[in-house]
Structure 1
Amino acid sequence: MKAFVMASSQWKLTDMAEPKAKSDEVVVALKASGINRRDLGLIKRYGDNSAPLIVGSDGAGIVESVGEDVTDFAYGDEVIINPALRWYTNSEAPPAEFDILGMPDHGTFAEKIAISAEQLEKKPAHLSWEEAGSLALPALTGYRALFTKGQLKKGDTLFIPGAGSGVATFLIQFAKNSGARVIVTSRSEEKRQYAKEIGADLAIATDSDWEKELEGETIDLVIDSVGAATFNRSLDVLKKGGRIVVFGATTEDTVELNLRTFFYGQYQLIGSTMGSREELREMLAHMESHNMNPIIDKIYPLGQAQEAFDYLASGNQFGKVVLSINQ
């Protein structure tokens, strides 16, 4: 089968042996796989290892074969992959055995994958293959950050620095579905307009004076994945006693924090990472009840995976970049 792998500090499309299902596994013929920013950084972590590793965390496809102990899925079932490995119930933090699909395990940028049946969920019927194959990691990340950790409720105002990422597009939609006011930032006027089209109430320029632009607003919750470039600016516009949830750092991951300002403001700083299977199922139910669709920016065939990686790395996307497979 064809697969996009990393080996010897390089990306390449190559032939790999077709996977076989163990007794508790299912082989899925993949139809689509979403690319995440996590994938871009894996080659540095993998180093010069010469053994080809299939990357990719998200995917959706059709069950091709099942192991002898599998009872919940059958040939022909349409499924999505849960990339949060071995985290089953909602908890304050992931269990020690938690990992993310796509390293060290083989991932989803391939024509097929063998994976534990515990990591599969039925594909929502209203989603296309590209939508279904791109949602689990970013949507689950956003759902946990917003609801489990951020405790967003109807009437709250949410502030999101950076409007174009896949997670941000899910956050906007989840929050609006829940009756919140949503404010975002972006350097791009085009992205600011897109954000408003999918539900943002206000979109301001990243390089503007946020305190001036947001005068009169009461920010209850900030969800920040940018890092040092926005963290303190976000804190400056957060209401006293407000909550800031951090799930990533696309810029510098070390910030300077004025502790006196922080404790006098009674702010709540909360970390979040991915989510459990329980939250994934809640998230899928939310999407189905609101007939919600992921935002897809561009679709590339598996053979153009490198071009898709380069496009995501450019930061020009609004929403998800997806690989089309076996279509």
Structure 2
Amino acid sequence: MTFWKRRGQVAGRQQATELNKSIAQLVNTSGSMYYESNAASGFDFISEGQALMNERQGLKTDRCYILNDRSTQKFGTDLAGRQTLQGRPADTWTTGQIGSNIAEFDVYTGSFLPQVAASSGSTTTTATFSGKPEGGGVSASFIVTNVDYRTADIAVTASAGFAVGDKVTFSNVNAVGLADKTDTGILMTFTVVGIPNGTSVTIFPKPIALGDAGLNITEKAYANVNTQIVSGATMGAVNTTGGRSNLFYDNDAIEVLGGDVPMQLMGEFDGMKVISETMSNGLNMYMVYDSRLDDLRLRYRLFTWYGLTAKDPSRMGVSVSI
């Protein structure tokens, strides 16, 4: 029984690893915040993410910062050599970890973080974009229509120089604080999530401009940029160097949707047995197994169902240490 218990534990860890990889890939390709930094100090590097998130004034719950192994080594070396922080240098010497609650983040290390491809993409827009908040609707015949409020299609001269996952800015379009609409003075970053054709790109999040005269006062309450993307504006990629990613996000920005299936019905067929357990991440894991008396073979399968969505890409970001 110890052997099978260990096999189950290994399978569970592997499924958790796959979930971590899926979340990392989602943040890498969907997160709208981005910066590249050559800071040698872990605090300087991580606090840039804090500044971006605080300036944009998004909903704050629990924040995570996941460093790749090389970034952890770089910043851990800096911390381990310090003598001014009580206890933390010694902890870093022992564990190689930087610690928790740094610049409002719980900091982790992940070997599963993806690469950020370098991009030199640049183009110009061919139309002024006016975006407003949208929701779903219900028709008179009770047909529900859902609207993806996160995306915007931007008309450009040519989209060939860009790829899904590129982080881009538009000239003169700055991020504003969601609560008080203060202009941060920092260009708003967007992520390319689709390339419908050769003359348009789809970006996260939808730019809603405080200075858009076509919006009413209620719609302007959702503004995330100071001014509209106008025709002739320069659109350029900011992931110019690329490299191994580090990820930061608010936990509430990502939704993990678990699935339930009536696997207990398998017990009605050919002597199969079914057990299930809720894992620490809230997902259900199922184990279906059976055996043969004539050759003492035991067969089993472990599995879980889940889906991911970037509920709020404006509270997800990517960084690269260069």
**What TM-score do the two structures reach when normalised by structure 1?**
0.24
| Structure with greater contact order relative to length (CA < 8 Å, sep ≥ 6) | 2
More helix by share: 1
**What TM-score do the two structures reach when normalised by structure 2?**
0.25
